[in-house]
Amino acid sequence: MTQDTPIERHVLQDGDVRIAVLSMGCAVQDWQVGDTHVVLGYANPEDYRTNPVAMGTVCGRVVNRIRNARFDIDGTTYRLPANSGPNHIHGGPGGLGLSNWQMDRDGARAVLLRHHSTDLDQGYPGAVDFSVEMRLDGHRLTYIMTGTPSQKTPINLAQHIYFNLMGNGTVRDHVLRIDADTYTPNAADNMPMGRIDPVDGTRYDFRTPKRLEDADQERAGWDGNLLLNQTTQPKAEVTAPNGMRLRLWSQERGLQLYTSNTLGPHGSPLPGPPHAPFAGICLEAQGMPVAFGTDALEQSLCEPGRDYFQKLEIEIAPDA
């Protein structure tokens, strides 16, 4: 599909849950539980064509940052557009989150989105056929993300929804738990330092639930990657004062925690909080950030016969 193709919209509904999905970037435009809007979004779908903060989208080909907007595969250097200082982030200025996907509706409970990314799209080698299925079952939304490449290429996708379970105000009163014993600390430029540290004694220790306000006395927020424990329990849980609870399941290695530290106004927001710092929390399940180093790049490589696959489940419901 071309970028000037009209943006399609489909609403998934089951009981008191309504989720609006757009073809532009596979974006979750809105998510309502009863009368509460639990995500940030733009009221006008056209605002997703520019969407500078990846609001609600599926990011890729490679989410997160790539140092100096370049990487090497088998002796060949691939140069990407730099869109975060000297670095590349979230697949580039024309990445998957800013592409208009083909939408196939499957009733009120599911939608399938497909996109063909051409060879050297945003500088990445090989063509890739991507698909994202979203299926609603009760209060749980399941993502199935796949990518079939024509040659060896890195793929690392993530959903980038901004959650606010209150539907107003900031998320500083939300309580967060993350099942992670280690994390990848960042340098001052917000790039991984190339080491794995225990979360003990750091502001990334959410193994027991913590209110964000209490864990962030300096009001700096978070924008960093935790390494998830390989257990069957929810990998992250968020609760809000109104009794709304989010639970997230993933088999991905990493979870980027971002508290919309630099979020500002763009377009026309949905009813709810203004788009400002700490208005939302992102829980971006993904592979190891490619910027971590050579091993992380190797882990992200897909090729013919070795497709990309990710399953992600997010449940938002009033706490019983």
Confirm whether 284 is a catalytic residue: yes
Whole-angstrom distance, CA of residue 64 vs CA of residue 290: 8
Whole-angstrom distance, CA of residue 134 vs CA of residue 28: 10
**Residue 177: strand, helix, or coil:** strand
* The pair of three-digit structure tokens given for residue 162, joined into one six-digit string: 């901004």
Residue of 160, 252, 275, 315 marked active site? 160
**Residue 271: strand, helix, or coil:** coil
The pair phi, psi for residue 280, each rounded to 5°, is -150, 165
Helix (H) or strand (E) holding 167, with range, is none
Helix (H) or strand (E) holding 282, with range, is strand 282-286
Confirm whether 160 is a catalytic residue: yes
The pair phi, psi for residue 158, each rounded to 5°, is -160, 145
3-state helix, strand, coil in the chain (%, to 5): 10, 45, 45
Taking alpha carbons only, the member of 250, 204, 255 closest to residue 227 is 255
Residue of 133, 237, 284, 315 marked active site? 284
Helix (H) or strand (E) holding 202, with range, is none
Whole-angstrom distance, CA of residue 207 vs CA of residue 272: 30
The residues annotated with a catalytic role in the active site are: 160, 284
